[in-house]
A = this chain, B = another copy of it.
Amino acid sequence: MKILVVDDDRVVADLVMFTVRRAGYEAVMASDAVSTLRRWQEYQPDLIILDINLPGTTQLNDGFAICQYIRRQSDVPIILLTVRGEENDIVRGLEAGADDYVLKPFSPRQLIARVQAVLRRGRTAEGSHPSAKLSIDGLEFNPKLRYVSLTNGETKTLTSLESRLLEYLMLNAGHILTTNDLVSDVWGASGGNSEMLRQLVRRLRSKIEDDPTKPFYIQNFPGLGYAFRLKR
């Protein structure tokens, strides 16, 4: 898996490069619009991590323009890097065709989780088929229609937040996701806190009939966070 990292701030770019390489990905970097487009064509990355605040002198070479330009010609996943507090950038970026975003400052672990999630989503959920499902260990989950099918045959519909949480957990199954990661993924820029997460986990668990004392799916790691269990 090859990643193209685009950031004009050398420090941030180095950090991102280091992080994704440590996670086992190949990566190259670019720092301006021209080199980004050249590297994108030569290198053919599987994913682009793009700082939306590229110092575009005009509207032709800032982050949004690049995002839009690339999106028109390819469906390579694009993750935006945006500064916390600039929600407009997020909206504009997603409209320009980005797949996800990460708020700066970010934790390495969080960045990797997003990268894996986006890559996996691209592989499994190809297109927007309403029947696209996530299925792990007998738990079948349809993110589009927001319902789960349990092993006993029951199906239950999830709320919007429950669905976000379960999708994030399942897309990163087997990895521990910290409370911060989960909160910032589920609630995004609107902001949540750990208490809200606890309640959400509780409600989701009760819907999928997961006993917290002997969790089958959603396991707590005290002081760290939660993980969707893989093969036990």
Query: Which residues on A are within 8 Å of B, measured CB to CB?
Result: 14-15, 17-18, 22-24, 71-73, 75, 109, 127-128, 130-131, 144-146, 155, 157, 159-160, 174-176, 221-224, 227, 232
Residues of B within 8 A of A227 (CB): 145
Q: Which of A17, A72, A127 is most buried by chain B, counting CB atoms within 10 A of its CB?
A: A72
Residues of B within 8 A of A72 (CB): 14-15, 17-18
CA distance A221 to B157 in the complex (A): 9
The answer to whether B24 touches A176 (Cβ under 8 A) is no
Q: Which of B18, B155, B157, B160 is close to A71, meaning CB atoms less than 8 Å apart?
A: B18
Interface of A is mostly: loop
Residues of B within 8 A of A232 (CB): 155
Q: Which of A23, A75, A144, A155 is most buried by chain B, counting CB atoms within 10 A of its CB?
A: A144
| Beyond known contacts A15-B72, A24-B127, A159-B223: 11 more, CB 8 A cutoff | A17-B72, A18-B71, A109-B128, A130-B174, A144-B176, A146-B221, A146-B224, A155-B232, A159-B222, A160-B223, A160-B224
CA distance A202 to B91 in the complex (A): 33
The answer to whether A18 touches B73 (Cβ under 8 A) is yes
The answer to whether B18 touches A130 (Cβ under 8 A) is no
CA distance A176 to B146 in the complex (A): 10
A14's nearest neighbour on chain B, judged by CB, is B72
Residues of B within 8 A of A109 (CB): 128
A69's nearest neighbour on chain B, judged by CB, is B14
The answer to whether B175 touches A127 (Cβ under 8 A) is no
Residues of B within 8 A of A73 (CB): 14, 18
Distance to closest chain B CB from A74 (angstroms): 9
A221's nearest neighbour on chain B, judged by CB, is B146
Residues of B within 8 A of A176 (CB): 130, 144-145
- Known contacts: A146-B221, A176-B145. The answer to whether A127 contacts B23 by CB under 8 A is yes
The answer to whether B174 touches A75 (Cβ under 8 A) is no
CA distance A160 to B224 in the complex (A): 9
CA distance A128 to B157 in the complex (A): 34
Nearest 8 pairs between A and B by C-beta?
A14-B72, A18-B72, A130-B175, A130-B174, A160-B223, A22-B75, A15-B72, A24-B127
Residues of B within 8 A of A174 (CB): 130-131
